[in-house]
């Protein structure tokens, strides 16, 4: 099974900061990786698909990059409404859709 390891597990940053979260796959998954945002008490929301494609309607301060085993999710300028937990998810090993363990983002 493919394991997804996110880091850090939690992160505190100030408004306006550049925030980076990484996700590492246990084997090559090409670009078969998505990123989701889950705000407290809400369902997850798709932000980035296929490693680097911004979902329609998602602000451009969010971006993703990477391929193979190493992926990065970036918020270019943190906003108060970005407080959430972020998850990566792979889909290389269908029909398994493994999620990373999540990164909880807080405002400093």
Partner 1 sequence: EVQLVQSGAEVKKPGESLKISCKGSGYSFTSYWIGWVRQMPGKGLEWMGIIYPGDSDTRYSPSFQGQVTISADKSISTAYLQWSSLKASDTAMYYCARLAGSSNFDYWGQGTLVTVSS
Query: How many residues make contact with partner 1 (CB under 8 A)?
Result: 25
Question: Cβ 16 to partner 1, closest distance in Å?
Answer: 28
- Interface residues for partner 1 in 22-81 (CB under 8 A)? 32, 34, 36, 38, 43-46, 49-50, 55
- Token representation of residue 42: 């809400």
CA distance to 2, 5, 14, 35, per residue, from 105 (Å)? 25, 16, 10, 14
Q: What is the DSSP string of 26-43?
A: SS--TT-EEEEEE-TTS-
- Position 10 contacts partner 1 (CB under 8 A): no
Q: Does 96 bind partner 1 (CB under 8 A)?
A: yes
CA–CA gap between residue 104 and residue 8 (Å, rounded): 8
- Residues making contact with partner 1 (CB under 8 A): 1, 32, 34, 36, 38, 43-46, 49-50, 55, 85, 87, 89, 91, 94-102
């Amino acid at each position: 099974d493919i394991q997804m390891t996110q880091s850090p597990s939690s992160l505190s940053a100030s408004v306006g900061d550049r925030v980076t979260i990484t996700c590492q796959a246990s084997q090559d998954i090409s670009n078969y990786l998505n990123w989701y945002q889950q705000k407290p008490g809400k369902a997850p929301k798709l932000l980035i698909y296929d490693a680097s494609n911004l979902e329609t309607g998602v602000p451009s301060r969010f971006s993703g990059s990477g391929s193979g085993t190493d992926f990065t999710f970036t918020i270019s300028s943190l906003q108060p409404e970005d407080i959430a937990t972020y998850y990566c998810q792979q889909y290389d090993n269908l029909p398994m859709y493994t999620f990373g363990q999540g990164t909880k983002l807080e405002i400093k």
